[in-house]
Amino acid sequence: MATIGLSAALEQFHPNDLIAHSKLAEEHGFRGVMAADHFQPWVPQQGHNAFAYAWMGALGASSGHSFGPGVTCPSFRYHPSVIAHAAATLGAMYPGRFWLGLGSGEALNENVVGGVWPEPLERFEMLQEAVEIIQKLFSGKDVRHRGKHFKMNKVRMWTLPERPVPIYVAATGPQTLRWAGKACDGLITPGASHEKLKGILENFAQGARAAGKDPDAMPKLLQLHVSWAESDEEALQSAITEWPNGGMNFPKQDVRSPDDFAAMARLVRAEHFKGRVLISADLEEHRAMLQGFIDLGFNEIYVHNVGRNQEAWIKAYGEHVLPKLK
């Protein structure tokens, strides 16, 4: 049975409100939370940037959800050892409930520390090296590292869970997908067309099989953005006002400022959300979309309703969508 969880937009809601949303979601059948790790919102309208790791500690204490960041870049704001430290602590506190989602980063969040923003291939190399460091630290052994991008003096992680925290990698490109399947424990990818997602799953599976792993047994997480409201018109207005970045069909990794995204948001129209954000008041459409992704092979789906009507949406999904999924 697939897990349907809550995608918690820490760039859009106050952290206390998101704890309340997560608890309500658990009461209505959602199982699991993916927490956005953002230093800035996409656009000023969203208005928040709570620290994901502090928030996840509170989430673990106040709910029974499994959870993890969707996703952390362990290469710029954070040295990989800092992420290993945070992940090991959460894993020790909440055994079997915390997973570590990693990605190559976006300038919107990572440029805060300044310096050169590398090209995609170099960011991928940095991610690979960072994962290597984190995995070594999860072993509990003394580790030192002298690599192309990172250095770390001899150190060990003292507080560890009984089993290493699983590492899931956010990926869409073939090279990253195959490496993720080979080197890591699971996949995170955003919603897209079935044709594109089939290719993503196959590339991930190729990497897993090359390492002697069974891709069918590995976690495959999908993040979805939807806009549900009592009417299609209200749902569309919420998408345009609250989540215009969902209608921007171009790579966003190099855009550095919420104000820059806001300027581009003036060009976003209803048709730009097609295939990217489901905008509909019809809960049967939402159920059918989720079922289609389950049938493709995703075993965990984390849903973010982009509007401010979180309580109504959670209750509507709990009553009319989640119980009907197979």
DSSP collapsed to 3 states, the chain = CCEEEEEECCCCCCHHHHHHHHHHHHHCCCCCEEECCCCCCCCCCCCCCCCHHHHHHHHHHHCCCCEEECCECCCCCCCHHHHHHHHHHHHHHCCCCECEEECCCCHHHHHHHCCCCCCHHHHHHHHHHHHHHHHHHHCCCCEEEECCCCEEEEECCCCCCCCCCCEEEECCCHHHHHHHHHHCCEEEEECCCHHHHHHHHHHHHHHHHHCCCCHHHCCEEEEEEEECCCCHHHHHHHHHHHCHHHHCCCCCCCCCCHHHHHHHHCCCCHHHHCCCCEECCCHHHHHHHHHHHHHHCCCEEEEEECCCCHHHHHHHHHHHCHHHCC
pLDDT value at residue 75: 97
Query: pLDDT (tens digit, 9 = 90+) per residue, 59-104?
Result: 999 999 999 999 999 999 999 999 999 999 999 999 999 999 999 9
pLDDT over 70 for what percent of the chain?
100
Section 174-203 average pLDDT: 98
pLDDT over 90 for what percent of the chain?
98
- Average pLDDT of the chain is 97
Phi, psi of 203 (to 5 degrees): -65, -40
Residue with tokens 């982009």: 306
Q: Which of 11, 21, 65, 106 is catalytic?
A: 106
Asked about 311 being catalytic, the answer comes back as no
Band the pLDDT of 288: cuts 50, 70, 90. Answer: very high
Q: Looking at the predicted structure, is the pLDDT value of residue 211 above 90?
A: yes
What gap in Å lies between CA 170 and CA 189, rounded to an integer? 5
pLDDT value at residue 272: 96
Asked about 286 being catalytic, the answer comes back as no
Band the pLDDT of 19: cuts 50, 70, 90. Answer: very high
Section 27-40 average pLDDT: 98
pLDDT value at residue 1: 80
Band the pLDDT of 14: cuts 50, 70, 90. Answer: very high
Q: Looking at the predicted structure, is the pLDDT value of residue 239 above 90?
A: yes
CB atoms within 10 A of CB 155: 14
**Nearest C-alpha neighbor of 315 from the set 284, 283, 285, 288:** 283
pLDDT value at residue 171: 97
Contact 219, 297 (CB under 8 A): no
Q: Which of 11, 26, 38, 300 is catalytic?
A: 38
pLDDT value at residue 266: 95
Section 18-47 average pLDDT: 98
Query: pLDDT (tens digit, 9 = 90+) per residue, 100-150?
Result: 999 999 999 999 998 899 999 999 999 999 999 999 999 999 999 999 999
What gap in Å lies between CA 239 and CA 306, rounded to an integer? 6
Distance, first Cα to last Cα, the chain? 7
Q: Residue 193 contacts by C-beta under 8 Å, 6 or more apart in sequence?
A: 275
Band the pLDDT of 198: cuts 50, 70, 90. Answer: very high
